[in-house]
Amino acid sequence: MPEDRLFGPLSTTPEMAAAVSDEAWLRALLRFEAALARAEAKAGLIPVAVAEEIAAATSAGGFDLTGIGQRAAASGTPVVPLLEALRGRLSPAGVQSLHRGATSQDAVDTALMLVARHGLELLAADLEGLAAAAAGLARTHRATAMAGRTLLQQALPTTFGLKAAGWLVAVLEAADRLESYRRSRLAVQLGGAAGTLADLGGSALAVRQALAEDLRLAEPVLPWHTARARVGELGAALALAAGTAAKIALDVILLSQTEVAEVAEPAAPGRGVSSALPHKRNPVLSVEAVAAARGVQAQAGLLLGSLVQPHERAAGEWQAEWAAVSESFRLTGGAVARMREVLEGLEVDPERMRSNLAVTGSTGSAEALVDLALQTYQRRRHD
């Protein structure tokens, strides 16, 4: 994972970096412990006063994040040292009731879902902005003739509006994919030591239901300790969103070549400066989006590979997911935000597009296709 201060600003946004930061993960782990205590109190397994004590301890702040991380190496999970820190704040009754019936993976997986929810909310806002910008370009340039290019060679005429409409539809599909995941696949994890909920007895299912309701997460049919399709789907959906942004970025890069010069990224002081060639105006935002998408694709491969896990507990596969999920959000957030900024301020040169046309002729049904894309966008906005 890139170190935040030097490489981080090239690949993400401050908001997304904060959403998947160590501090965000810690808050999510603490939310799990507080919600679990409340759920167990609701089921009559622990006193309400003890649950309130545990919740107060989790919200008091002052946790040594660096120390917890350093001690996590001894147990392979940050949950063990975090629980040690919490026990130091609790009465004997609180110590006895803390984390009752749960395992470290229950805490980490639920925290992952909470972190993912915030990341998905941030992505939804930027994808909506990106879609709006693409729709504006499609509408404005519905009839702006330009060269259609296949295998990087001029083919038949098309319109820039149709190119932007293609971007629009792809962005809408990426947004719908992530929204569907947010609505249906963010689920609580609670299975106990071997996925049987043995330590919660006859109250196990009631506790799980109350925990899910408290955290506003779905309740799965079964614990998913080694059934990792849920995480693989997330990685794939993020990679598709980042790839969608990067496809737009590559189009912008190619259209802004000196010999083509049909579009340019929005100008800003210092942006696109070359250390060796001061006259250049490099499409840096689009370059950063392409680079970020490459990184997300690598993380998606890791997450999909982690579906193959042994028996009831992973032996390294699950542990590999944590950083991969965070990095996927960081990079996808960066790619989408970069291209939103690009399209919102994209400089388009219709005269250059027309002069670059090597062949003349009809643009076919390009304008009608643009209208279809815009109708789809408008319906989605009003749903």
CB 143 within 8 A of CB 350: no
> Do 106 and 191 touch, CB atoms closer than 8 A?
yes
**How far is residue 367's CA from residue 145's CA, in Å, rounded to a whole number?**
10
- Cβ(299)–Cβ(324) below 8 Å: yes
Nearby residues of 279 by Cβ (< 8 Å), 6 or more positions away: none
Reported as type and span, the H/E element at residue 263 is strand 263-264
The question of whether 313 is a catalytic residue gets the answer: yes
Catalytic site residue from 87, 100, 177, 313: 313
Separation between Cα atoms, residue 191 and residue 175, nearest integer Å: 32
Do residues 24 and 118 touch, judged by C-beta distance below 8 A? Answer: yes
Q: How many CB atoms sit inside 10 A of residue 243's CB? A: 20
3-state DSSP of 337-378: HHHHHHHHCCEECHHHHHHCCCCCCCCCCHHHHHHHHHHHHH
CB within 8 A of 357, min separation 6: which ones?
145, 146, 147, 154, 157
Contact 146, 117 (CB under 8 A): no
Annotated catalytic residue, options 91, 180, 274, 365: 274
| Helix/strand/coil percentages in the chain, nearest 5 | 65, 5, 30
Computed from CA positions of residues 82, 83, 86, 87, in that sequence, does the dihedral angle turn out positive or negative?
A: negative
Please identify every residue annotated as catalytic. Answer: 274, 313
